Chains A and B, each alone.
Chain A
């Protein structure tokens, strides 16, 4: 089914279409929440809250192209609310390495899978060492794939600032990867 048609059905109150939409996007929503909060349980609760929020806003659902950035924006705002409720920003990347099993493993070859898993672990360790600002830029741009214009709108910063921050973040990440000895 085309994304636009699915959205049309969701707006009309089709429960099956809503379930399909949830299944389609739950991984991205949970992934973003998990990377912000660093706790699987909190991230699961927050992802649920995000979907309830989306369900309440169904009449204002954007079109298919703007849907994912809109959902990620809601998730990020709820994460910020979560931090405000806690009154302090916790170590957001205190994710145990063994929790990386949450990552999808698409490789069919077990040896290749192991190699990729090792590289992902090192990338994850490098991400943990980044500053909060740079980590958020990597999270939104390079992990979630948002456009710089969308990130600038989301963070309320000029486009040029978003671009320069993204460059700085990527270079810092590269330096960490080099320090960790990640093979090219």
Chain B
């Protein structure tokens, strides 16, 4: 490809620019894509010739390529810097066999500890661990501490909490028993049973549910019975003076 041979003697740059403006537009964008390879000398021959042809008539792209060449010339000077006069001695001191006894085969770190350390370097993992630790602390704070030698005075809140736990445990025990019994009834659902099996199952479930309600009500009554004296003790009712009988009643 020879662009100079194709150019007519009468061709002028402004004419070329005018034609390009009305057709494909200036080719500077395409040159920017090829400029680095052109400066590095890795552009194929035909492309290199086209780039040179454009550069002959485009001062902007000439400036771009010239600065690329300047940068390519100056940048390698930044590669090596002088670390200081005592640097080598310091490195040799640190890499002396006495300073680095295990210079060759270094013992493998404990994989568990290394894995934990690697995990903890991740901010999200550390955050999750902190969250779990906080949650565990809050949950533990809800449980009563082991009994000390001297019993602490029973407050209303402690009483309510203890009794609620007991009631919930009773409800849970009833629920488990109810589930086990229900499972024992399940064969009644198998095909081939008489049609009255459903009604028998339903009536048994009703009875069990009724028993559970009764047990729950009893537990609530017990809680009330134990809480009420404390409340009455804490807040004694005001005693009203005995009123005189109404005049109409006399």
Residues of chain A touching chain B, judged by Cβ–Cβ distance below 8 Å, are: 15, 18-19, 22-23, 26-28, 30-32, 34-35, 43-44, 47-48, 51-52, 55-56, 58-59, 84, 87, 102-104, 116, 119-120, 123-124, 127, 138, 142-145, 166-167, 170-171, 173-174, 177-178, 182-184
Contacts and interface: CB of A to CB of B under 8 A. Distances in A.
Interface of B: 32-33, 35-36, 63-64, 66-72, 74-84, 87-88, 90-92, 94-95, 100, 102-106, 121, 123
Contacts of B67: 174, 177-178, 182, 184
A51 B95 contact: yes
A27 B123 CA distance: 35
A52 B95 contact: yes
Contacts, number: 127
B154 to A, nearest CB: 50
B88 A26 contact: yes
Contacts of B69: 184
B75 A59 contact: no
Given A22-B88, A119-B74, A143-B76, A52 B81 contact: no
Q: Is the interface of B mostly helix, strand, loop or mixed?
A: helix
Nearest to B37: A167
B91 A22 contact: yes
A166 B81 CA distance: 23
A30 B91 contact: no
A91 B58 CA distance: 38
A166 B71 CA distance: 13
Contacts of B84: 44
Given A103-B81, A104-B77, A124-B78, A56 B103 contact: yes
A27 B32 CA distance: 34
Contacts of A52: 91, 94-95, 100
B71 A142 contact: yes
